[in-house]
Amino acid sequence: FERAFAIDENHFNAAFQLGNIYRRDGDMLLALEWYFIAQKCDNTNAPVLERIADVYESIGDDDQAEQYRYKAEKMRKQRRSKK
């Protein structure tokens, strides 16, 4: 995934998957960094906002977790209303 991202810095899936890998390995700061990169690649993706919320929750920052869950839900509602 790092190679894919090096080739295309707008490769959402590579950044998102790297976040997943680091999160699974317990490196929450690197996971957060890659999730933020993924969010920059696609700022309309609710699942990445939920993952960011999960990481914040796991490190005890419930306020940030709540803010990102709210953003994810708001984004989902906007998508449903467009359909």
Tell the residue number behind the tokens 């708001």, with chain if given.
74
Q: What is the pLDDT of residue 78?
A: 86
pLDDT exceeding 90 applies to what percent of the chain? 75
- Point out the least confidently predicted range of 10-14, 27-31, 49-53, 60-64: 10-14
Residues written for the chain = 83
| pTM, full prediction | 0.86
Label residue 18 by pLDDT band (50, 70, 90): very high
- Using an 8 Å Cβ cutoff, are 62 and 54 in contact? no
Could you report the per-residue pLDDT of 34-54, keeping only the tens digit for each? 999 999 999 999 999 999 999
Find the helix or strand (DSSP H, E) in which 36 lies: helix 28-41
Six token digits for residue 73 = 């839900």
Closest CA to 17 of 7, 43, 3, 61: 3
Q: What is the pLDDT of residue 25?
A: 97
Residue 6's contacts (CB-CB under 8 Å, 6 or more residues apart) are none
